[in-house]
Amino acid sequence: MTTYNNPANQQLTPTQRTKIKRVPKRANYETKTIYNILDEALICHVGFTANNQPFVIPTAYGRVDDKLYIHGSPASRMLRNLNQGIEVCVTVTLLDGLVLARSAFHHSMNYRSVVIFGTATLVNDTEEKNEALRAFTEHVMPQRWQEVRQPNKQELQGTMVLSLPLTEASAKVRTGNPVDDETDYNLRIWAGVLPLQMIPGKAIADERLIEGIEVPEYVKNYSKTTSS
């Protein structure tokens, strides 16, 4: 599991945009919860508007302290638009289980999600850019950065990195059993939770891999979970 820099746990003040209105008891504004969800998930969805057209783009990301980093080609429409200082909404969701109730109406899912609002800024500082690229790599595969070839000058120049502060964010979490109408608990219908988790398979070597190179232990023991 990747070791991330975690500032002291804080309670973010809900804003008009981050305040959970639908089932507010599931809301969580603690940075510890928000960061744990971000560190465990692999894909975020970036929502923005360009030329009066809404877009939602799935992409990889990395987190360092209280900043979320997004990267890609300078030719990327998403990054080009975000670099103009437009507002962005980033979402991340972890699905933990299917909640099967006695009635169709009360079926649900157990999940952990984060919504972030803000304005992304371009990262020009070389040291910060390198740290962001390390965070991307370590987020996907812990311990990988120290083994691979580091980005060269041309690769750094050909990569755009944007930073989004994690100051306007909220988490929403559902756990537990289905909640049925009281009269439905007497129905002879199975109800409960079917847990779901992402489980890695056996590593498949590149067909051009040099003979004799073994699968690293960190690949064999890969796990994308964080401590609660």
Q: Which of the residues in the chain have pLDDT under 70? A: 1-6, 226-228
pLDDT of 6:
65
In the chain, the N- to C-terminal Cα span, in Å, equals: 13
Rounded to whole angstroms, what are the CA distances from 23 to 38, 50, 91? Answer: 22, 31, 18
**Pick from 87, 117, 102, 96: which is nearest to 26 by CA?**
96
Chain-centroid distance of CA 134 in Å reads: 16
Q: Kindly report, residue by residue over 139-171, the tens digit of the pLDDT.
A: 999 999 999 999 999 999 889 999 999 999 999
pLDDT of 4:
52
Listing DSSP states for 187-227 in one string gives S----EEEE-----------TTPPTTPPPPHHHHT------
pLDDT of 3:
42
Indicate the fold that domain 24-220 takes in CATH.
Pnp Oxidase; Chain A (2.30.110)
Q: Kindly report, residue by residue over 120-138, the tens digit of the pLDDT.
A: 999 989 999 999 999 999 9
Whole-angstrom distance, CA of residue 155 vs CA of residue 133: 11
pTM over 0.85: yes
pLDDT of 81:
84
Q: Where are the domains of the chain?
A: 24-220
Residues 64-102 as b or e (16 or more Cβ within 10 Å = b):
bebbbbbbbeeebebbebbeeeeebbbebbbebbebbbb
Q: What is the DSSP letter of 102?
A: S
